[in-house]
Amino acid sequence: MADHPVDEKLPPLKMATTGLQHVAAMYAGVVAPPLIVGAAIGLSATELTFLTGACLFTAGLATFLQTLGIWKIGARLPFVNGVTFAGVAPMTAIVASTEDKSDALPIIFGAVIVAGLLGFFAAPFFSKAIRFFPPVVTGTVITLIGVSLLPVAFGWAQGPSPEADDFGSSTNLGLAAITLVIVLLLRRFTRGFVKQIAVLLGLVAGTLIAIPFGVTDFGPVADASIMGFPTPFHFGAPQFQLAAILSMCVVMVVSMTESTADMLALGEIVDRKADEKTIAAGLRADTLGSAISPLFNGFMCSAFAQNIGLVAMTKIRSRYVVAAGGGFLVLMGLCPMAASLIAVVPRPVLGGAGVVLFGSVAASGIQTLVRAALDKDNNVLIVAVSLAVGIIPIAEPEFYHAFPENAKIILDSGISTGCVVAVLLNLVFNHIGGRARDAEEVTHPMEAGEEISEATRAPATP
């Protein structure tokens, strides 16, 4: 019996290039949190480089856990793991509340270790929520994942920093558009291997085209050292403070919710549905990776939704390809010069490719919704309200500005809020009160119900 495509081992060259493509898609997401937190602490350029390399290294280790797995740990799906952005706000809050900034990272690391261990033991219980994720819920959440990621691509397309003079310039937007067109042309007019690495080729081509415009910066390569190792507890032994632990536990719950949604989405795309056992194993990998990460000076790890779009677009479903990407992440953590090569890719070029990647995720969600019986009035309402709630943080980022910071950790994640609303509405409309409601159909949400007949309508005025 032939192996499932998820378990397929590709030829070495194809494995390496497609794995590198995954790294290119998620690199910016991994390095952004350490750069933000490190800047808030006031780390030197050398220490900031060390912290970034540590996060790349630990992301590689977490990716190995998720893709290759050991015992009952790891979903064994093509998932890239890395630093979750959900932790940035509470980590910067911890930094702000710490008088001696040299204690900030040890306090963060201690909180992440505790949250990771608690999450590891809670994983089998958390995974039982799988029965609350029928197609109407999973389709909504997958669509929200794609829609939530698109603004990231649009931000990249404008440039690396909103404070820069050229942010949103015609040059940056033009480079993003050129990269997008190159990827589309490669997908349309090539076949086989070249078609599958269209995103990687588009990033290379876009970077070369950007050189004459002065957007490509090779400075990081020249300044980077060849070898380095994230010495354990480089910034000091972990410290354990209750307030910091509680805030990171909230982040862990958010991260586990998003990871569950991501696993369900990826399971649909690779045609190996994520059951309760798979989700429990995947959550164990996320949480154990998070608990181990601070040992090497890294932050909380979570599955990266960005790479789901790449799997959907390339149709390469092998988990070993993503494991190869994990190998590149470890290499980058050990070789800062290798990490700097990915950093050379201009942000607008990355944004152009991101439009294809993240849009593919949203399209996969719509495909799932096609099977969600939207001819039923209940399901139309579930999708409509859940999407609306999930899009709030995207359309109106300051919508929850008056809420407490801990609540905003959850509310500012459209994926989490949309997921919770979809699950609750599905319970209310499709489970509580019997099955009679399932038979209700609607031809169009804005049309009158069938019970309103012509005989009962008010006569028209002449």
Structure confidence at residue 295 (pLDDT):
92
Q: How confident is the model at residue 338 (pLDDT cuts 50, 70, 90)?
A: low
Q: How confident is the model at residue 342 (pLDDT cuts 50, 70, 90)?
A: low
Question: What gap in Å lies between CA 166 and CA 163, rounded to an integer?
Answer: 9
pLDDT in tens, 242-266: 878 887 887 787 778 778 878 888 8
Q: 236-266 b/e with 16+ CB inside 10 Å = b?
A: eebbebeebbebbbbbbbbbbbbbbbbbbbb
CB 35 within 8 A of CB 220: no
Question: What gap in Å lies between CA 258 and CA 264, rounded to an integer?
Answer: 10
42 phi and psi angles, rounded to 5 deg? 90, 35
Structure confidence at residue 288 (pLDDT):
93
Q: What is the DSSP letter of 317?
A: -
Burial class (CB in 10 A: 0-12, 13-18, 19+), 396: exposed
Structure confidence at residue 129 (pLDDT):
72
**Quick check: 456 pLDDT over 50?**
no
Structure confidence at residue 454 (pLDDT):
41
pLDDT in tens, 136-159: 887 887 788 778 778 878 888 898
Structure confidence at residue 462 (pLDDT):
39
pLDDT in tens, 161-179: 787 788 888 999 999 999 9
Mean pLDDT, the chain, whole residue set: 80
Q: Which of 53-67, 128-142, 311-325, 406-420 has the highest mean pLDDT?
A: 53-67
Structure confidence at residue 121 (pLDDT):
92
pLDDT in tens, 171-212: 999 999 999 999 899 888 887 667 767 777 888 899 899 999
Q: Beta partners for 83? A: 301
**Quick check: 355 pLDDT over 70?**
yes
Structure confidence at residue 223 (pLDDT):
66
pLDDT in tens, 270-284: 888 888 888 999 999
**Quick check: 335 pLDDT over 70?**
yes
Structure confidence at residue 450 (pLDDT):
40
Task: Give long-range contacts, CB 8 A cutoff, 24+ apart: 327-330.
Answer: 327/19, 327/60, 328/19, 328/20, 328/23, 328/60, 329/23, 329/30, 329/56, 329/57, 329/59, 329/60, 329/63, 329/82, 330/56, 330/57, 330/60, 330/61, 330/64
Provide the token pair at 190. 């090539």
Structure confidence at residue 442 (pLDDT):
43
pLDDT in tens, 95-137: 877 878 888 899 999 999 999 999 999 998 888 876 777 778 8
CB 244 within 8 A of CB 94: yes
Structure confidence at residue 118 (pLDDT):
93
**Quick check: 316 pLDDT over 70?**
yes
Stretch among 3-12, 140-149, 316-325, 439-448 having the lowest mean pLDDT:
439-448
pLDDT in tens, 407-433: 776 677 777 788 888 889 988 888 776
**Quick check: 458 pLDDT over 60?**
no
**Quick check: 88 pLDDT over 60?**
yes
pTM (two decimals)? 0.67
Tokens 């410290």 identify what position?
239
Residue type, 337: M
Please report, rounded to a whole number, the percentage of residues in the chain having pLDDT higher than 70: 86
Tokens 């995103």 identify what position?
199
Structure confidence at residue 444 (pLDDT):
42
Q: How confident is the model at residue 460 (pLDDT cuts 50, 70, 90)?
A: very low
| DSSP notation for 62-109 | HHHHHHT-BTTB---SS--EEE-GGGHHHHHHHHHH-SSGGGHHHHHH
